[in-house]
A and B are shown apart, each in its own frame.
Chain A
């Protein structure tokens, strides 16, 4: 069969072009996403394993190229927690609406 592989499995591809060496300082929200994963994966309960994070990111598919690194992470973490039933889609949706509203009224 033809060589079919995930969009993340890119070792050896040559279309990448020159490496962009500019670096950005991590924003606080990005560090918090990272911290989220640490807290969820390091505890006894292991609500999100690193492997689930990776699988979740891989499932996004090529759309992921439109997202930044930590945008992919929060997408995967959130989907995993939903699948695990840690919160419901209703709870998350409602909370996100509240957060957006509160930000507008600050």
Chain B
């Protein structure tokens, strides 16, 4: 059984700006970016450890985080409603104040 979820739907979270070492499922284009938790997906074994034939325990909470395209890309203009939803593991996230422009 995993630990209690740290974040909930609607929370503003930032993705840690840290390099992906070994195998991770956190893409580089969201590192250091801020988004909103769209849903809590549940608890899963950590793929970063499973990739090395370890058991990936304790389970980690997975979230879908919604990012605004205008925030992600310098050249994205118009279409303020456009978003990208990315699944991110809890240990890559921290609470943030607001979406930085």
Binding site for B on A (CB under 8 A): 1, 3-6, 9, 11-12, 49, 51-52, 54-55, 58, 83-84
B28 lies within 8 A of chain A by Cβ: yes
Nearest CB in chain B: distance from A72 CB, A: 15
Nearest CB in chain B: distance from A27 CB, A: 28
Interface of B is mostly: loop
Given A11-B28, A12-B29, A55-B51 in contact, is the A5-B20 Cβ separation under 8 Å? yes
Given A9-B20, A55-B23 in contact, is the A3-B51 Cβ separation under 8 Å? no
Say whether B20 contacts A49, CB under 8 Å. Answer: no
B16 lies within 8 A of chain A by Cβ: no
Q: Which of chain B's residues has its CB closest to A3's CB?
A: B28
Query: What residues of chain A lie closer than 8 Å to B22, measured between beta carbons?
Result: 55
CA distance A5 to B32 in the complex (A): 14
Q: Which of chain A's residues has its CB closest to B48's CB?
A: A51
> Would you list the 6 A-B pairs with minimal beta carbon distance, nearest first?
A55-B51, A5-B28, A51-B50, A55-B23, A12-B29, A51-B51
Query: What residues of chain B lie closer than 8 Å to A12, measured between beta carbons?
Result: 29, 72-73
Query: What residues of chain B lie closer than 8 Å to A49, measured between beta carbons?
Result: 50-51, 53
- The digit string for B29-66, where 1 denotes a CB below 8 A from any CB of A, is 10100000000000000010011110010000000000
Q: Which of chain A's residues has its CB closest to B73's CB?
A: A12
Say whether B50 contacts A58, CB under 8 Å. Answer: no
Say whether B29 contacts A52, CB under 8 Å. Answer: no
Say whether B20 contacts A54, CB under 8 Å. Answer: no
